A and B are shown apart, each in its own frame.
Chain A
Amino acid sequence: MRPAEPERLGGVLRALLSHYRRHPWQALFLLAGLVAGVALWSAVQVINSHARASYAEADYMLGAQATHWIRSRSGAGVAPADYIALRRAGFRQVFPVVQARVATADNAPLAIVATDLLALPTGDGGEALDEADLDWLAFIQPPYQAWYPAALAQELGVAAGDRLALHDGRRLPPAVIAAREQQGRQILMDVGAALSLLGREHFTALAVGAITPAEAARLVDALPADLQLEANQQRVDLTELTASLHTQLTAMSLLSFAVGLFIVFNAVRFSLWYRRPTLRTLRLMGVSMRALTLAVLAETLVWSVIGCALGLAAGYGISLALLPGMSATLQNLYGAVVGSEVLLDVRTVALAWALTLAGLALALAWPLLLQLRGPVIAANTAAAAWRDDARARRVLLVGAAGMVLLAVAVYWHMRTVVGGFVLLALVLFAAAWALPALLAAAQRGLGRALAGAPLARRWIVSDGRAQLPALRTAMMALLLALTANLGVETLIGSFRTALADWLDQRLGADLYVNSPRLDAPRFVADPANAGWLAAGHARTGVTLRWQGRPAKVYGLDTTTPDTHRLPLATAAPQALARWSAGAGMPPPILANEQAHYLGGLQLGQTVTLPADDGPADYTVVGFFHDYGNPYYQFYLPREALERRWHAVQPTGLALWLTPGASEAAAEAALQAAGVQPGEWSAQGDIKRLSLKIFDRTFAMTAAMNTLTLLVAGAALLTALLAILHERLPEFAQWRALGVTRRELLRVIALPLGLFVGLTWLLAIPLGALLSWLLIHDLNVMAFGWSMPMLWSPLPALKLGLLSAGIVALVLAIVLTQLTRKLPQAMAQLGSAS
């Protein structure tokens, strides 16, 4: 480079950038697009990497390593005496854990975790006590303490010292707003406090810290018969189980990044338009192509740095706001513990910048450079714009056709969730790219239809030709946002309905009891209960691993009402009858849909499960819906289960009351049998709790959806303001020719209304297609849940109204701008081209 060039480059860059000083709103829109795109994308990245970091800690428990678990084979939990015996035998890496789910007074689910902080194997035994914020005298002594992470306390409206009331009237210990490592959204308390609160005598499990293989072998020998040592595979399980969810979130964030890029495109289009004279002048002054190219690249770099930095800052803020919802989702769905503090890591920052740079290169640098290559003196008329636009529309249409072909090809070979999202992206973008051609065709068609109409009407319609080039990208962004919104809305609606129906079918009993103290079969058989008890179903189960994932096999009573009406998604003929009778060899088994869709199990196939004395073979005769469960599950008749597995755990008791019997009678009988209040739930409570969990789980999706639509609204606003700016001299001319403001507004509003309306109409079938793909393919591949798709016109109407609202708002803004700027524009008429 010659010595003079840096200065010259600086001059050229200043000349290029001076444009933004004259038109600061363009800088604003450019930034708005970048920031919106980067913010949502990085927010999801931050949340995803935070969640993954939490999974990596899944073999830690409240700051102590938990490489193994000691659990009871019978499900009775671990007796404190067995724990003490292990400690006295020198197993100091063993510590007690109580975990429970309870419900608040207004039925919000709460997770409780408890341990003995004094027994936590952290370092030399004193560390757990050395934390400055821990007043462990109060922690381990009545009335004890309940530690709430700040976010959870805020959500629940709990202040320090409060004793939160539970659904059944029990109260938690006084609140302390504090959290330990890996506490996540759980409430931490002392193990003594938890046992007394829950009325339990047993720990949920014992966690085992770092242990050598030799010690582990000694530990296995030291365990009483009912206890077993199992490796803690939660880290692996969580990473695997949640992969689909994270992919889904990433896809949504990329979509919003794309929508953000549309705004950038829009802004750039006009900055290009405006800078044509500048570029022309610079080139006529003899500035080399090389210097101009460098200046353009420098400008791209500047914008990418500013946009990325602001976007990351906003993204960090958004991630903080979304994290509680995300943590709730992960805890509800997978039992994953996700902490509440987030960090922006170098990888996210670098990726965000790379994405911004790539996006800008595509949206800003490339068109600028193309323009440089073009003739120095270009035609500068609306007709030329329309001609260019027509060419662009054709290119886009061809691209769209190519994407449709590609989508079809992908559909036939789609196996993974990522593949599914690639398909969705192709469908969405094909539609978006085809949209301008479609809108132009509609405009042409309307023009032809109005061939004999009065001038005003024909004029208004044909002015759409002048607006379309400017509105093109905004309409594409709007289509994307509307389609995604409708698709996801239908998915959530269908899912919620399917879940509610399923709950209605599955939760047929009046009361559900889960108590370690109750001998369920005896309670059901007790003649003293005959007065109020119509039927009872005591289930048993074993936990094992199938295909490398946790799986549960339940033993059902084949005579109870719920088993008779077991809703099956797919089944062989006479499946339930054959299954109940245990007819055939190998004996029949029912599996959940997850085993079918995720485990690859087919109807009629033989499934082999690890039973106590060797593998046990079963024929799959049916698949049942099992929403919300990330694990595999199988049903056997109870006797069949107990034949092959000896240490089955009671997994709850369902009770049907005789018509007219009071719940109070049932509750009195339960209490007399040793069941504590809080260990039974009424059917309605469980349903409400389940739906509440569902709504929380999808809170994150809904939030993303709204944000995407907001970005699209911003795109529309930028486009219209650009049109206004670009055509202000034209509008001034019209005013001078006697066109009223009202007529002017009509000229702007009607074509815009036509385009938005068409876009909205197109979004309806596209949204349906999207939800169909989500429900029939992606959801099944990601979670293994199938459900009927329920399309409703309501979300479409709601979005239509919302779009109309956005258009009205944008028009109002445009109108005030017009009112403000027209007088000056009219004054300048004839003074410049």
Chain B
Amino acid sequence: MKRLWLVLLMLFAGPAAAQDDPYQVLRSTGEGYAAVEPGRAFSFPADHLPHPDYRIEWWYLTANLKDAEGRDWGLQWTLFRQAMSPATDTEGWDSNQMWMAHAAITTPEGHRHEQRFARGGVGQADVRLDNGAFAAWLDDWSLTGEGPSVLPGRLRFSVGEATVDMQLGSDTPPVLQGEGGYSRKSAQGQASYYYSQPHIAVRGQIVQGGRPVALTGTGWLDREWSSQPLADNQQGWDWFSLHLADGHALMVYRLRHDDGKHWLSGSWVAPDGTARTLGADDIALTVLDTRRVRTPTAADPKAVRELPLVWRVRLPGLGREWTVRALIDDQWMGGRVPYWEGVVQVDGGAGGMGYMELTGYGR
């Protein structure tokens, strides 16, 4: 699972309340919005487009890239949609849809990120078919498809003065997570619809300081929508998407519970795109090391957090295990909803590369 908490959601709580607990909104009942039920039939390319009856939704893209000298780069680009009320959306200034976008690049020099906001209904941000082609955008950040599908497509955005322009393509079909795309988040019934595109070939360039750098690598797209994703006793989560050297892709996460009985889930995707859902018994996650990381936000520019940046990921059923380690410590997303998200190495890079997301860690 991914990023559920990353909610635009100070919308509902004032900022002060949000700082106390940014996740509270995710635990509200979602009454009035469409409910997530098992047994939904997914349909592509239609499901790439928004589902405005649900409260929150995102298009979440990460990529592990290498330059000509073999150095590691990474990028993250996310578009969040949020319905501010259960009412039917009206186009125009009265629209109840809100958009937020996050972008980050990890370069050999370090990590940079940016956030943006826009209201829906007026065309400043949206996800829709544009002349028959998929288009998701907020201002000049965009993810566009050549046809009605996201892929093959193109990702363009900027972080500060650095601009990113990537071609995306994939030969494998989308992976429906959980039970046919119904992804359970707790024993109490919280769930989301969730599918991924784990094998995306990425090729393009990042222009930094006027200097273009050609990059190639592998990307991962997550699509998720829900109305009530978190349970009351869940504080945050640790999430991994790994591209392994043998061509497999692995997604595992744990939702941390107050009582230490965490909710674990994941999927094991073969190079040909066939996937197997992983349950709690299939996954073992162990923190090997924590690091003190500067985690500034606008409200708290001097904050430092103790974050678990080295992990052992074990799949006992498959007899496989890996050491996952942050490429650099400082990959902090210090926006309005702060979290750590960044490039990780699998077994020092020899086993593969990936992305890790850590949320809900207090100072």
Contact = CB atoms under 8 A, between A and B. Distances in A.
A304 B163 CA distance: 64
Contact of A90 (B98, B118, B122, B139): B139
B10 A129 contact: yes
A112 to B, nearest CB: 15
A2 interface: no
Interface string A187-217: 0001111011000000000000000000000
A130 B12 CA distance: 13
A141 B122 contact: no
Contacts of A116: 119
A125 B117 contact: yes
A522 interface: no
B114 A124 contact: yes
B93 A130 contact: no
Interface in A69-110: 80-81, 84, 87-90, 92
Given A80-B122, A195-B93, A87 B84 contact: no
B93 A196 contact: yes
Interface of A: 80-81, 84, 87-90, 92, 116, 118-119, 123-127, 129-132, 135-137, 140-142, 190-193, 195-196
29 contacts: A81-B123, A84-B124, A87-B139, A87-B140, A88-B124, A88-B137, A88-B140, A89-B140, A116-B119, A118-B98, A118-B118, A119-B118, A119-B124, A123-B298, A124-B298, A126-B117, A126-B298, A126-B335, A129-B336, A130-B15, A131-B15, A132-B16, A135-B14, A136-B11, A140-B119, A141-B84, A141-B96, A192-B93, A196-B93
B119 A124 contact: no
A125 B115 contact: yes
B116 interface: yes
A118 B84 contact: no
A188 to B, nearest CB: 16
Given A124-B335, A137-B84, A141-B96, A130 B298 contact: yes
Contacts of A135: 14
Interface string B215-230: 0000000000000000
Contacts of B115: 124-126
A142 B94 CA distance: 6
Interface string B86-102: 00000011101010000
B117 A130 contact: no
Interface in B125-162: 137, 139-140, 158
A173 to B, nearest CB: 12
Contacts of B124: 84, 87-88, 119
B299 interface: yes
A142 B92 CA distance: 12
Contacts of A118: 98, 117-119
Nearest to A191: B93
Contacts of A87: 124, 139-140
B84 A88 contact: no
Pick the most buried of B98, B139, B158: most chain A CB atoms within 10 A of its CB. Answer: B139
Interface of B: 10-12, 14-16, 84-85, 92-94, 96, 98, 114-119, 122-124, 137, 139-140, 158, 298-299, 335-336
Contact of B140 (A81, A90, A136, A196): A90
Contacts of A190: 93
A162 to B, nearest CB: 22
- Return the 3 tightest CB-CB contacts between A and B, nearest first: A192-B93, A90-B140, A126-B336
A735 B336 CA distance: 86
B177 to A, nearest CB: 30
B116 A132 contact: no
A132 B14 contact: yes
B10 to A, nearest CB: 7
A88 B336 CA distance: 23
A411 B158 CA distance: 65
B140 A127 contact: no
Given A123-B298, A190-B93, A192-B93, 16 more contacts: A84-B123, A87-B124, A88-B139, A88-B140, A118-B98, A124-B298, A125-B116, A126-B117, A126-B336, A130-B299, A137-B84, A191-B93, A192-B92, A193-B93, A195-B93, A196-B94
A191 B118 CA distance: 13
B164 to A, nearest CB: 13
A130 B16 contact: no
Contacts of B16: 132
Contacts of A140: 119
Contact of B11 (A80, A81, A119, A137): A137
Pick the most buried of B10, B117, B336: most chain A CB atoms within 10 A of its CB. Answer: B117
Contacts of B118: 118-119
A136 B84 CA distance: 11
Given A88-B140, A124-B115, A137 B92 contact: no
B117 A129 contact: yes
Nearest to A89: B140
B15 A132 contact: yes
Contacts of A141: 84-85, 94, 96
Nearest to B11: A137
Contacts of B117: 118, 125-126, 129
B85 to A, nearest CB: 7
Nearest to B113: A124
Contacts of B137: 88
A192 B298 contact: no
Contacts of B10: 129
A36 B61 CA distance: 70
Contacts of B12: 137
A88 B116 CA distance: 13
A193 B93 CA distance: 8
